[in-house]
A and B are shown apart, each in its own frame.
Chain A
C-alpha cells in the first residue's frame, strides 16, 4: 500500500513538476492557482480528508508518504489538511453547503488570514469590538484588526466579530469566513522587528459578508473559534515557524554553525548546544507520543504542550547561535550573523503570536492540570459595561 502510493506520487510528480525551476513542468514560472488546482484535483493537497472533500481518505501516516515525496521534489501544495487553517476550520465546522461553496476556492488559493486581534483585544480575544450588523442576507462589518499576518495576499480571512453587546463577552461573538478582496477593506503593512512586514493593520468599513458565511452559529462564534485556535497552536507546537527546525536526517543547523565556527571543542558551548538540541528532540518525542495517544484514545493532552515548549527551543537556539558566532554577531555582514539576529527576533512570533506563553501556561494549568480558574472580572457582565484601556 505505502510502496504503491509512494510510487504513484513519484510518477505523478515526475510528470507534472519541474524541481529545477520549482514550477509546473513546461510552464517556466510558478503559477500558484494553476498548480494548486492540479494538486487538489489529484487528491494530494488534503489526503486525510474523504474523496467528497478533495481527499483520499488516507491515514496520517500514509499522508506523510505524499508529503515526503512532494518535499523531495521541492513541490508546493502539500499538507493543506495540516496547515491551511481556513480550509481546516470550514472542513470541520462548515455545513455541506458552505463546504461546497468555499472549500475548493480556499484549497486552491492562498492561506486565509486570521482577523482576530484588535488594538483592544489581544490575549483577551473574547473582548473583540469589530461589529457585525445584519442587513438582509448579509452582515455589514465595521472595525479594526491588527497584527493580521498575510492579510495582503489573503483572499479570505477568518473574522471574529461582536454581534451582541448586551450579553457577557463570550456570548455575543460571531465567527465568519470573510472575503478580503472588496471595497471597505484596507490593509496597511506593519514593519516588524525581524525586518519583515508580514503582519498588517486591517481597517474594515461597511464591508459585507453573506450570512451563510457564518462559521458555526450566530453569537456562538467563541465555540467555533476554539477549534480554529486549537489547530493553530498545534501547528506552532511543531515549530514550523522556525528557520532552524532543519529537515529530518540532516545535520542540525546549530551543530553545523558550531562546526563552521570551530566551536565544537568549547566544553561550555557544547553543553549549551547539546541542551538546545535536546529540547528540540524532546519536543519531537513528546509530539510523537501525542500522535500515538490520539490514534489510541482519540485525544492527547500532550499536544497542548508543544507551542510552549517551542518558545524555549526557539529563543534558546537563537541565543546560542549568537554565542557560537561571538562578537561578529554584532555585524550584519555575514549570512550567519543575519540569520542569528533574525532568529532572535523571530522567536517572539512563537512566544507571543497565537496566544502568549503566559496564556498558554494558564490554559495548560487550568485545562490539562485542572487547577482552579483565575477570576476574570469582565466575564459575567454585559459586554457594553466592560472597561477597556
Chain B
C-alpha cells in the first residue's frame, strides 16, 4: 500500500518527465542504441539520485517506498519516450523478490545497492517459450551447502549491463529464485541481434554455476513479482501508445493534401476515433490494475492480466496504424513511428504472449467468487 498522495505521484512523474526530456530525447535514444551496451549509464545514475531506482525500496534502505501505482505512473512517462533502461528488472521485479526473501541481511545490502544505483540486476525468468507463467528451464541442485544451476534462460533483458542476475529455476515443479553475480564461473551470456534495437535480449546459459538461494521465495512470490512486472510494462505501453497517437493526430492536422489537412478526410477521422478507444483503454487498464495490485484487491490478478494483453495489443495496433496514417514519411528510418512499432512488437512477447494472458484472464473469471 502506498503512502504517496496523488500530488506526490504527479510530482515524481513531472521530475522524471523533465529528466527524460533533457537526457533521453529521440536523438539521444538513437545514439545510445548504436553503442555496444545500448544503455545510458549516466541517466541511470541520475535516476538513482532522484530516488527512482529505489521507488519500491523502503526509505530505511535508501529508497522512497512507493508502490506499483507510482511505478505504473512513472512507466507511462518512460514509455512516452521509449526509455530503455533496466527499470522493470532492477527496480520492480528485483525489489519485490528480494523483499520477500528471509535471508534478510544479504538482501538488505542488495536493496541498498539497487536504490543507490550501484547495482543493476537482470532477471532470468523464463525458458524458450518466453512465458514467465510457465516452468523455467534452469534447474537447481543442492550439493552440500551449495546450489548448482544448470540450463538456459531466454529473452533476458539488460544481461550485458547487469551486475548480477536473479534466476528463476524449476525444482520438482516448484519455482525457486537464486542470486548469481555476472562474473560467476559457469555463467555465459549470448547477446542476440534483436529486431527492436531499443531493447537488447540475451540468452543466459548456466553450466554448473553456483547461486545463492533467496530463502522463502517460491511460486507465489515469483508470480506476484511477475504480476507487478506486467503491470509496469502495461503502464510503459500505455504511455507509448498515447505518445505515438498524439504525434499522429498532430500530423493529421498539419499535413496538407488536396488543399486541406488530411485530418479532414473521414476515412482517417474514423480510424483516429477508433484508435482513441484503444489509447484510453490501455491507460484505464494499466492504472486500474496498478491500483488493484497496490491494495491487494481480490480481482488484482484478473486486472493485471487484462492490462497485459490490452496494453500490448493496443500499443501494436495504434503504432501500426500510425505508420499507415502518416504515409511514406513513416516508412523512413528517420521517422520515430517504427521505433514505437518495433517496441510494441517486443512488448507483445515479453513475459508471455497476449494470447496466453487472455487465456489466464478468462481462467480468473471462471474461478472468480
Contact across chains for B269 and A361 when beta carbons are under 8 A apart: yes
**Contacts of A369 on B, CB cut-off 8 Å?**
249, 269, 272-273, 276
Given A289-B284, A361-B270, A371-B358 contact (CB < 8 Å): no
A361 touches B249 (CB 8 A): no
- Counting from the closest, the 3 A-B pairs by CB-CB distance are A365-B269, A361-B273, A371-B263
Distance between B10 CB and nearest chain A CB, rounded to angstroms = 12
Which residues of B (224-260) have their CB < 8 Å from a CB of A? Answer: 249, 252-253, 260
Taking the nearest CB of chain B, how far is it from the CB of A252, in angstroms? 7
Q: Is A372 interfacial (CB-CB < 8 Å)?
A: yes
The reply to whether B269 and A368 form a contact with Cβ atoms under 8 Å apart is no
CB–CB B270/A370 < 8 A: no
Which of B178-186, B328-336, B360-368 is near enough to bind chain A? Answer: B360-368
For B283, what are the chain A residues with a Cβ–Cβ distance below 8 Å?
289
Contact of A277 among B273, B287, B362 (CB under 8 A): B362
Residue A161 CB within 8 A of the other chain: no
Q: How far is the CA of A277 from the CA of B363 in the complex (A)?
A: 12
Contact of A282 among B260, B268, B285, B365 (CB under 8 A): B285
Judge whether A309 and B277 touch: CB under 8 Å. yes
B309 at the interface (CB under 8 A from A): yes
Given contacts A274-B358, A285-B284, A289-B280, 19 further A-B contacts (CB under 8 A): A251-B368, A255-B365, A271-B355, A278-B309, A282-B285, A283-B281, A285-B281, A285-B288, A288-B288, A289-B284, A302-B280, A305-B276, A308-B274, A308-B277, A361-B269, A361-B270, A365-B269, A368-B273, A374-B264
A71 at the interface (CB under 8 A from B): no
Closest to B289 in A: A285
Supposing A252-B365, A361-B273 touch, asked if A282 and B281 sit within 8 A by C-beta, the answer is yes
How many Å lie between the Cα of A251 and that of B280 in the bound state? 26
Q: Find out whether the CB atom of A372 lies under 8 angstroms from the CB atom of B273.
A: no
Tell me, rounded to whole Å, the shortest Cβ–Cβ distance linking A320 to chain B: 12
What residues of A have a CB within 8 angstroms of the CB of B361 in the complex? 274, 277-278
Nearest CB on B from A279, distance (A): 8
In the bound complex, what is the Cα–Cα distance between A305 and B279 (angstroms)? 11
Find out whether the CB atom of A278 lies under 8 angstroms from the CB atom of B264.
Answer: no
Which residues of chain A have C-beta atoms less than 8 A from B272's C-beta? Answer: 364-365, 369, 371
Contact A371 B285 (CB under 8 A): no
Q: What CA separation (Å) do A259 and B367 show in the bound complex?
A: 12
Give the complex CA separation of A14 and B185 in angstroms: 75
Contact with B along A333-344 (1 / 0, CB 8 A): 000000000000
> Interface 1/0s, chain B 306-333, versus A by CB < 8 A?
1001100000000000000000000000
Query: A286, B280: Cβ atoms under 8 Å?
Result: yes
Check A358–B270 contact: CB distance below 8 A. Answer: yes
Flag whether B5 is at the interface (Cβ < 8 A): no
| Number of chain B interface residues as a range | 20 to 34
Closest chain A residue, CB of each to CB of B266? A374
Q: A367-389 vs B: 1/0 string, CB under 8 Å?
A: 01111111000000000000000
Residues of A within 8 A of B269 (CB): 361-362, 365-366, 369, 371, 374
With contact pairs A270-B359, A282-B310 given, residues A371 and B264 touching in the complex (Cβ less than 8 Å)? yes
Please give the distance in Å from A289's CB to the nearest CB on chain B.
Answer: 5
One of A275, A361, A371, A374 near B274 (C-beta < 8 A) = A361
- Partner of A275 from the list B277, B280, B358 (CB cut-off 8 Å) is B358
Nearest-neighbour CB distance to chain A for B55, whole angstroms, equals 23
Query: Quick check: A255 and B273 within 8 Å, CB to CB?
Result: no
A219 contacts the other chain (Cβ, under 8 Å)?
Answer: no
Residue of A nearest to B279 (CB): A305
Which A residues touch B273, using CB under 8 A?
308, 360-362, 364-365, 368-369
A267 interface residue, CB < 8 Å from B? yes
B residues less than 8 Å from A255 (CB atoms): 362, 365-366
With both beta carbons as reference points, the residue of chain B lying nearest to A281 in the complex is identified as B306
User: Which secondary structure dominates chain A's binding surface?
Assistant: helix
Within 8 A of A (CB), among B282-304: 283-285, 287-288
Chain B residues, Cβ within 8 Å of A366? 269
Docked complex Cα distance between A365 and B275 (Å): 10
- CB–CB B270/A365 < 8 A: yes
Residue of B nearest to A285 (CB): B284
Q: Which single residue of chain B is at the shortest CB-CB distance from A296?
A: B6
Q: Does A90 contact B (CB under 8 A)?
A: no
A36 touches B (CB below 8 Å): no
* Contact present for A282 and B266 (CB under 8 Å): no
Report the minimal beta-carbon distance from B277 to chain A, rounded to whole angstroms.
5
The distance from the CB of A160 to the nearest CB of chain B, in whole angstroms, is 25
Known: A289-B287, A368-B276, A372-B264. Contact between A278 and B310, CB under 8 A?
A: yes
- Interchain CB contact under 8 A, A271 and B261: no
Measured in the bound complex, the distance between the Cα atoms of B277 and A275 in whole Å is 15
Contact B266 A362 (CB under 8 A): yes
Q: Which residues of B are found within 8 Å of A374, using beta-carbon distances? A: 264, 266, 269
Residues in B whose Cβ lies below 8 Å from that of A358: 270
Check A235 for interface membership: any CB of B closer than 8 A. no
A286–B283 CA distance with the chains assembled, in angstroms: 9
- A293-B289 Cα distance, complex, nearest whole Å: 18
User: With the chains together, A179 CA to B311 CA distance in Å?
Assistant: 50
Q: Does A264 make an interface contact (CB < 8 A)?
A: yes
Interface string of A346-367 (1 = CB under 8 A from B): 0000000000001011101110
Interface string of A159-195 (1 = CB under 8 A from B): 0000000000000000000000000000000000000
How far apart sit A136 and B87, CA to CA, in the bound complex (Å)? 75
Q: Is the CB of B358 within 8 A of A278?
A: yes
- Rounded to whole angstroms, the CA-CA distance of A251 and B306 in the bound complex is 17
Task: Please tell me if the beta carbons of B252 and A371 are within 8 angstroms of each other in the complex.
Answer: yes
Q: How far is the CA of A251 from the CA of B366 in the complex (A)?
A: 8
Cross-chain contact B260 with A372 (CB below 8 angstroms): yes
Residues on A with beta carbons closer than 8 Å to the beta carbon of B359: 267, 270-271, 274
What's the Cα separation between A278 and B285 when bound, in Å? 10
Q: How close is A86's CB to chain B, nearest CB, in angstroms?
A: 29
CB distance from A31 to the nearest CB of B (A): 39
The answer to whether the Cβ of A151 comes within 8 Å of any Cβ in the partner chain is no
Q: Which of A254-297 contact B (CB under 8 A)?
A: 255, 259, 264, 267, 270-271, 273-275, 277-278, 281-283, 285-286, 288-289
- Cα A305 to Cα B275 in complex, Å, equals 11
Bound CA span A305–B362, Å: 25
Residues of A within 8 A of B365 (CB): 252, 255, 274, 277
